[in-house]
Amino acid sequence: MSASISQKPASILPAFADSPAAAHLQVGGLTRFSASDYPGKLAAVVFVQGCPWRCHYCHNPHLQARACANSGAPDWAGVMDFLQHRRSLLDAVVFSGGEPTIDPALPDAIAQVRALGFGVGLHSAGIYPQRLAAVLPLVDWVGLDYKAPLARLTALTGAKSSAGRVLDSVKALLLSGKPYEVRASIDPHWHSPDDLNAMLCELKELGVRHLTLQQCRDASGQPTSADFTNALFSGSEAMACSVLPPALAGGFASFSLRPA
């Protein structure tokens, strides 16, 4: 393995201990219907408030602080009331963020959703590996972000321990056997074609088999745009193939492009 991938794990938060009741979950928002946040499922998305990273291309900066500034966001009781009335219309609930594993009430919130008969998806950036490992047995599917080549991750997130945390999270996810996709969001103002190639090489070395490349949106919701990403997410197979990196050849059991 390369030096970057074999580095020692970073210090991390302990796994959930004395998890509080779901009523304490800090809800930053609710999407009532989504056909894209959990592949193959119709889902509601609960956005958990809070994220310790400050990624340069973050399109949800309002979810970074732990205190919710969205006066229209429901509390957990409001989320559960909505879900009670959607039991025959939705397949699953996805916990997203922010970073959902930041919230100690997450395990009980997952349990309450499961008790209603919904499947559970989880979006995570892999910031808290032990907490991710603790909730993996409780969920059905995981979308894990891989934001940049490991050597550039600290520059992107502003957190020195980023690479070690992400590595530990990828390994925990693969060991769990849970269905998953690793998602790399591509911002042409941050990622070059060489960066993308490096990311794919790292993921192949780690044993990742399911990969999605996503087009970034800015904070206003508009797709970030440059010649590189315009070709990649054009919808034209020929144009996409002209810019896909060499590392994509072989090694992935599934691969998809997700325009903004």
State residue 59 phi and psi, 5-degree precision: -100, 5
Domains present along the chain, CATH in parentheses: 22-258 (3.20.20.70)
Tell me the pLDDT tens digit for each residue of 122-171: 999 999 999 999 999 999 999 999 999 999 999 999 998 999 999 999 99
Q: Are 161 and 11 in contact (CB under 8 A)?
A: yes
Q: Which two tokens stand for residue 188?
A: 């042409």
Distances from the Cα of 11 to the Cα of 43, 102, 153, 159, 161, angstroms: 34, 15, 16, 12, 7
Cβ neighbours of residue 126 under 8 Å, at least 6 residues apart? 132, 144, 145, 146, 165, 166, 168, 169, 170
Please state, in angstroms and rounded to a whole number, the distance separating the CA atoms of residues 178 and 121: 11
- Ranking 51-65, 91-105, 140-154, 237-251 by mean pLDDT, the lowest is 237-251
Local confidence band at 20 (pLDDT 50, 70, 90 cut-offs): confident
* Least confident stretch, 31-45, 55-69, 85-99, 107-121: 55-69
227 compared with 180, residue with greater pLDDT: 180
126: how many CB neighbours lie within 10 A of its CB? 24
pLDDT at 4: 44
Give residue-wise pLDDT tens across range 153-164: 999 999 989 999
What residues pair up with 34 in beta bridges, in sequence order?
Answer: 43
Give strand pairing partners of 48.
27, 97
Average pLDDT score over residue span 26-44: 96
Is the pLDDT at 222 greater than 50? The verdict is yes
Element (H, E) at 184: strand 180-186
Sheet containing strand 180-186, edge to edge, reads 27-34, 43-48, 92-97, 119-124, 141-145, 180-186, 210-215, 254-258
Q: In this structure, are residues 25 and 187 in contact, taking their beta carbons and an 8 Å threshold?
A: no
Q: Locate all alpha helices (DSSP H) within the chain, ordered by sequence.
A: 76-84, 106-115, 129-135, 150-157, 162-176, 193-206, 227-232, 237-243
